């Protein structure tokens, strides 16, 4: 695990959330608590419909809590819109804007960002996008589009980044390269990442801890600390302890299919 300080970047305290329809209320989260340390990489895995993306929607303010509180950097935040960087499963790049124009969108929307346009050129190079500044999304590979999307999330200025299955649409080889690239950028940016994935191997390779959702509504996660030092290589996944952990997780989800 990368060395972290004692500051908490994200907290849920006694959070409740349910969907409403005409007939009933459907509970998703019930009196839930979680904490993510500043600089930590945490993945969430669970079956489809278990509430993973709902957690993100609550954090970014797209859904309202039924009860409880959310804290960012140890401060309770009621208006969370624009307070974190968010990278959805689809890159959602605007096809009429160039790479650079897509990347700087958060700077246009949130003028209080701690990053300014002067930082963009160096970040484009760090993200492997130098020379593509004036290209349009349709001219980019899938992996490159995801890099632009991640750069846009970084330019939100927040130390907390939410990544919702960002590599699920990529081919297997590109996905492996993007996982390695993401770890390099996380180390460089010193950010806190909460990452949703259905891929247990991906979660094990990337994460310090994994939150496992097995029931809905859920009150607590099963928390797993990944037994790998950093820096990591894909070969490290062959570690006996990691292999046993992966098989145990697969067994847990197999019983729920």
Q: How large a percentage of the chain has pLDDT more than 90?
A: 40
Listing DSSP states for 42-83 in one string gives: EEEEE-TTSSHHHHHHHHTTSS--SEEEEEETTEE-S--TTS
| Summary count for the chain: helices (H), strands (E) | 8, 10
As for how many domains the chain has, the answer is 2
Per-residue model confidence as pLDDT tens digits over 18-30: 887 777 778 888 8
72: β partners: 10, 75
pLDDT for residue 209? 96
| Residue closest to 206 by CA, chosen among 89, 41, 44, 88 | 41
Does residue 96 share a domain with residue 29? no
Indicate the residue among 134, 157, 180 that finishes a domain: 157
Q: Which of 103, 123, 157 is the last residue of a domain?
A: 157
Claim to verify: residue 147 and residue 257 sit in the same structural domain: no
Where does the chain have alpha helices with state H? 52-59, 99-103, 105-109, 120-126, 142-154, 172-189, 200-206, 240-254
Tell me: do 196 and 76 sit in the same domain: yes
**Cβ neighbours of 28 (radius 10 Å):** 21
Q: Are residues 198 and 242 in the same domain?
A: yes
Give me the CATH number covering residue 33.
3.40.50.300
Tell whether 23 and 79 lie within a shared domain.
yes
pLDDT at 12: 93
Let me know whether 169 and 237 are in one domain.
yes
17-21, 145-149, 240-244: the lowest-pLDDT one: 17-21
Reported as a single tens digit per residue, the pLDDT across 115-144 is 555 667 788 888 889 899 999 999 999 899
Task: Work out the average pLDDT over 5-10.
Answer: 86
Of the candidates 197, 201, 189, 184, which has an alpha carbon nearest to the alpha carbon of residue 85? 189
Asked if residue 150 and residue 165 are part of one domain, the reply reads no
Cα–Cα distances in angstroms (integers) from residue 79 to residues 31, 142, 246, in the given order: 20, 33, 38
Q: What percent of the chain has pLDDT over 70?
A: 91
Return all residues near 92 (Cβ < 8 A) that are at least 6 apart: 149
Model pLDDT for residues 192-214, shown as the tens digit of each residue: 999 999 899 999 999 999 999 87
Nearest CA-CA partner of 41 in 214, 204, 154: 204
Residues 49 and 145 in one domain: no
Whether the bond into 217 is cis, omega within 30 of 0: yes
Give the pLDDT confidence of 229-238 residue by residue, as tens digits. 999 888 889 8
Query: pTM value?
Result: 0.88
Tell me, yes or no, whether 73 and 32 share the same domain: yes
The rounded distance, in Å, linking the Cα atoms of 9 and 191 is 10
Which of 99, 129, 157 is the C-terminal boundary of a domain? 157
250 and 195: one domain? yes
Neighbouring-strand partners of residue 222: 212
Does 255 share its domain with 211? Answer: yes
Q: Which domain holds residue 168?
A: 1-84+160-257
Phi, psi for residue 247 in degrees, rounded to 5:
-65, -40
Residues 129 and 181 in one domain: no
């Amino acid at each position: 695990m990368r060395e972290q300080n004692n500051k908490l970047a994200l907290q849920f305290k006694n959070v409740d959330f349910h969907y409403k329809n005409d007939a009933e209320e459907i509970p998703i989260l019930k009196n839930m608590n979680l904490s993510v340390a500043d600089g930590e990489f945490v993945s969430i895995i669970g079956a489809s419909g278990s509430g993973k993306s709902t957690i993100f929607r609550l954090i970014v303010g797209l859904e309202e809590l039924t009860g409880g509180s959310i804290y960012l950097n140890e401060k309770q935040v009621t208006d969370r819109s624009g307070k974190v960087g968010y990278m959805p499963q689809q890159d959602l790049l605007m096809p009429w804007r160039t790479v650079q124009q897509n990347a700087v969108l958060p700077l246009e929307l949130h003028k209080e960002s701690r990053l300014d346009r002067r930082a963009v050129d160096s970040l484009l190079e760090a993200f492997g996008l130098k020379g593509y500044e004036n290209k349009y999304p349709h001219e980019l590979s899938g992996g490159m589009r995801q890099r632009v999307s991640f750069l846009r999330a970084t330019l939100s200025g927040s130390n907390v980044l939410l990544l919702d299955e960002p590599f699920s649409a990529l081919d297997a080889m590109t996905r492996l390269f993007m996982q390695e690239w993401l770890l390099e950028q996380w180390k460089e940016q010193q950010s806190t990442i909460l990452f949703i994935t259905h891929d247990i191997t991906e979660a094990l390779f990337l994460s310090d801890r994994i939150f496992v959702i097995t029931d809905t509504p859920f009150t607590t996660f099963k928390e797993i600390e990944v037994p790998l030092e950093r820096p990591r290589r894909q070969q490290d996944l062959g570690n006996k302890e990691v292999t046993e952990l992966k098989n145990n997780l697969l067994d847990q989800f197999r019983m729920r299919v």
